[in-house]
Structure 1
Amino acid sequence: MYFSSIGTMGVKSGQRDAVISILTRSNPALADIGCLVYEVGGRDDDPNTVYVCEVWESEEAHAQSLELDSVKETIAEAMPLLTGDFGGYDFMVAGSPLRSE
């Protein structure tokens, strides 16, 4: 069963695009460790929030990704631009109308 996370990150005023740029840099190691989807974006009516949608092969794969040096470096670079206001939900994916499993 897949693991998914839908999250929000509060960003300092005027820093949303910088955070999106940091989080969307190519990182093939994520796919290698089991990331199936990692989408990052924002909303025009919410300029101080970044939205992230992730789907992983397993919860363990997600946890392992946090140990990758490349992920640690990305987090360290983004942290000074964040407010510390995080939200969201994690859940186990039950299925999808887009695939037969």
Structure 2
Amino acid sequence: MTFANVGTLGVASGSRDEVVSILTRPNPDLKPAGCLLYEVGVSDEHPDTVFVMELWSSAVAHQKSLQLPSVRALIAEAMPLLSGAMGGDQFDVAGSPLP
């Protein structure tokens, strides 16, 4: 069953664009690891927040991806720019009306 991780990352004031740049850097390891979708977004109403939507082939695939060297390097690069405020939800996708 497809697994979704939808969350928010609080960023240090003025660091949003740099975090977005890190998170949107092409990573050829994600697709083979089971990543079906990885979207990063921003909102003018929340200038110190980055939004992330992920779809994975399974929760296990998502968890295993966090051990990939390329993912760990990106996390390490982004961590100093985060404020520590994080939110979101994880769930199994039940379906979609799209064909």
The two structures share one fold, judged by TM-score above 0.5: yes
Matches within 5 A, 1:1-101: 1-99=1-99
CA shift at 1:23, angstroms? Answer: 0.2
SS where residue 41 of structure 2 aligns? strand
Q: Distance in 1 between matches of 2:38 and 2:26?
A: 11
Superposition deviation, residue 70 in structure 1: 0.2
Q: What is the percent sequence identity of the aligned residues?
A: 60
> Deviation of residue 28 (structure 1)?
1.2
Unaligned runs of 5+ in 1: none
Following superposition, the deviation at residue 98 of structure 1 comes to: 1.5
Instruction: Give the aligned residue type for 1:75.
Output: I
Deviation string, structure 1 residues 39-70 (Cα, Å, up to 9, x no partner): 00110111000000000000000001001000
Q: CA deviation at 1:30?
A: 0.4
Unaligned runs of 5+ in 2: none
The normalised TM-score by structure 2 is 0.98
Q: In 1, distance between residues paired with 2:3 and 2:15?
A: 29
Indicate the structure with greater helix content. Answer: 1
| 2: CA distance, partners of 1:95 / 1:13 | 37
Moved over 4 A (4+): none
**SS state at 1:29 partner:** coil
Distance 2:96 2:21 in 1: 29
